[in-house]
Every structure is written in C-alpha cells, then in structure tokens.
Amino acid sequence: MKKFFVISALLLAASLFTVSAEERGYKYEYQESNLTYKNVIVYKVLDHRDAYVVMYAKGHREVGNVTIPKKWYKESPHKLAFRPLPAGMSPYMTVLYKSGEFSQVILTMPVNRGDSTWGIADSNVQVDANKDTFDIVY
C-alpha cells in the first residue's frame, strides 16, 4: 500500500509541474551552438623568446608545425590558454572556433617544464610572433 501511495504522489507531482510549466509559457527548444573544436595530439612544444612552436599529429603519419605568439596569453580575450595534463594522458591541443572563425587555442601540457614534451627553440630562428590569425592544417 505504501508503494502505491508513493508512486501516485510522484505522478501527481510530475503532472502538476508539467501543467504549471505549460501555463508559464516555458519552451524547451534545441539550440545548436556556434562553437566547434578540434583536438590534435601534441608531440613537442618548443619555447621561443616570442612564441611557442607546436609540433602536432597531422593526418595519420605526418607532423605539422604551428606557431602561437606568446602575446596571445596576455591579451584579453585570451587566444591562448594552458591546462594541466591529467595523469595517464598524452599532451594535446584544442582549437576552438566561433561561427567557423578561430577563437582560442588551448594547450593541455605537463606542468613540469622538464618533461620531454617541452623543449627550447633556437633563439636565432625567426618566428612570426605578430600574427593575429591561427592557420592550422589537420
């Protein structure tokens, strides 16, 4: 008898909530987000004076290189962000797009700069640290 009473009370409460939501005009519509993202595996990040040079997995057997200006980390809104790498995972890079346009790049990397994923780029090599766009080939 107790089970019947509890079940009927729950059904009554659910129906009252539905009726009150309809009376207030709540509508639950599906809205597609204008944000998309792409993740790629990172093999190495070379720290340069003005930028980070990221070597990432491109396709099945190729390695791609992309330069990320360090100034993006300091600008507002941030175009560059870092996340600590969770245990047991490989480093990766997430590229966010808003309405098909580049928005932000997030590097998920080991916190310890002594890790083999981190490296130092030759300071004599010229990198494009003044760019405002992010062009990457997957």
pLDDT tens figures, 47-63: 999 999 999 999 888 99
Note the pLDDT of residue 102.
94
- pTM, whole model, 2 decimals? 0.75
pLDDT tens figures, 64-105: 999 999 999 998 889 999 999 999 999 999 999 999 999 999
User: Would you say 90 and 41 are in contact if contact means Cβ atoms under 8 Å apart?
Assistant: yes
Residues 120, 121, 124, 126, CA torsion sign = negative
Start-to-end CA span in the chain (Å): 63
Q: What are phi and psi of 43, to 5 degrees?
A: -90, -40
Note the pLDDT of residue 25.
62
> Quick one: DSSP state of residue 4?
H
